[in-house]
Every structure is written in structure tokens, then in C-alpha cells.
Amino acid sequence: MPQYAFFKSQIVPIEDAKISIMAHGFNYGTGCFEGIRAYWNSIEEQLYVFKLLEHYERFLNSSRILLMDLPFTAQRLAEITVELIRREGYREDTYIRPVAYKADEVIGVRLHGLRDEVAIFAMPFGRYIETDSAHAGVSSWRRIDDNSVPARAKITGAYINSAFAKTEAVLNGYDEAIVLTQDGHVSEGSAENIFIVRDGVLITPPITDNILEGITRKVMIELAREELSLPVMERPIDRTELYVADEALLCGTGVQVVAITHIDHRPVGTGMIGPIVKALRDLYFDVVRGKARKYLGWCTPVYVNVPELAVA
């Protein structure tokens, strides 16, 4: 468990980082968050935080959608995060959770005129899905629409949509859910982006199909094009295209890269991890652990010989 948190503009013992049950964000879901991973490289004895600045840029975009005016830049939040992890001393794979929330203790649904706070904590974290492959089911719950709750913002209250889909899937015997848009196109998993492979082309829904603009999704697209020389298409995907796909995968910071081998009790391709998904997964884990030197700029080292960062 974590020992520290960034709370009310300083790093404090985790037991001191508490909000009131009257906090607006707790009562109404008026907050946003990020999920960030750091990966331990045992050979170098280094912990690498993956795509740290990009995550905080998205975090600030989410906060703007919620009419928040946070007193931090992405760079400053990155510096605070590195210092927090150093104090924890983690030497294993780690998950970092920044949250911005409406902190006033008031009743009434709104976004304006409320005080905003930022909190960050980090903890050891392994797999999101316990296996290397998943059996997914198409959910009866539809994906939230941009004109209802913006899917491109990681809004805390919006994840009830994910919770409904995930729980339905698990209770129905699946590992994960696939959710559709209101017009019936594939959107994403319960909390992951999705790709399929058809005839050697990697295909993923466009950002206009109410997906989270995933950072791992962008990485998959770049690695497919640059390292595997695969054509990539961003276009709408029909439900039944899932059934005739050669391969499929889920990706995201939490889930990382997981093959989908069955959908709605139908095998995807051979029903086993395919060569393209395996290659992308292997590349991804080399990149995030700092083993692919070409992409080392995507990784922020935690343990370097620099003075402690001030966080007040």
C-alpha cells in the first residue's frame, strides 16, 4: 500500500489525504482522473514512467471540459509524480492515479463556482486482466455519447457506464465487455481501446465513435506502422466484423495489451493469440520497460541523481 499522497499542494502521509463525505466530487462524480503506469527494469535497476507528460496533458484537457482551472502545468505535475514515487521507493511495476475533483462541501449539481483540488497516489500494480487473452462479450449497455457525457474526458462519474458493462460481462461468464455506440458501431471495451485485424490491416474505431483518445492506442498505431509495416485504418467497425476478424486486441494503460481470442462464444481467428497481436504485445513491453532504445524518450526514469523536487 502507498505511504504518501500529493494532497492539497504537498506530499503528505497517505492517512492524511482524506476528503469529506460532503465533497461535491464524491457526491456527484464531478472529477477527472488519469491512469499512468511505471515499469521496473531489473537489469538497469530503473523505474520508467511511460508517457508521463502525455497523460498529464490529457488530464488537463479533461479538467478543462469540467470547467476546472488547475494551477499546474503538465510538466509540474510530472515533476511532482516523480518525486512522489521516489519517496515511495518502489522497485516494481507501479500504477499512478492523479485525480482532480470539485472539493467544496455543498449540495447542488453544477460545475461552476466550485473549488478544485488535485490529489495523486501511486501503488504497486500488476495485471488488470489475469490472463494473456480474453473472452469478450458485446454488452447490452451502450457507450456514453459525447453530447451526454464526453467520452474523451476521463470523468469519474462517467465510469459507471464502464462498471455496468464490465459487471454484466463478468456475471455472464466473460472476461471483458465490448460496448457499442448508440448507432450500433463498436466503440471500445469497458475501459480499453479495441483493435481488430482483417486481411493484414489493423483497424480501430475513430475518435468520433465515443472512444477515449487512448495514449496506448496511439502507441499501438505507431508501432504497427513503424515497426511492423502494417497498414492501420481508423474507421467504424460493425458488430459482426468482430466475428470474422482474424485477430483482435484490447489496449490501455490498465489492461496494457491483451488478445481477444473469443467474442460472444465465437473464436476470433484460430481462437488463440495471433502473430500480429503477439508482435505488438512483445514490442509494447520492450518499449515501456526502456528496452527499446529508439523509444526511450517515451519513458521517464524515476531514479536519477538529481536533487529532491520541491512540491509545495
Which residues are the active-site residues? 154
Q: Which runs of consecutive H residues, i.e. helices, occur in the chain?
A: 24-28, 52-65, 74-88, 160-171, 215-226, 239-244, 275-288
* Ramachandran bin of 270, using left for φ above 0, alpha for ψ from -120 to 50, beta for the remaining angles: alpha
71 CB-near residues (< 8 Å, 6+ apart)? none
Express the helix, strand and coil content of the chain in percent, nearest 5 each: 30, 30, 40
Cα distances (Å, whole numbers) of residue 133 to 122, 128, 213, 268? 26, 12, 23, 11
Report whether 167 contacts 156 (CB < 8 A). no
Pairing of strands 256-263, 247-252: antiparallel
170 CB-near residues (< 8 Å, 6+ apart)? none
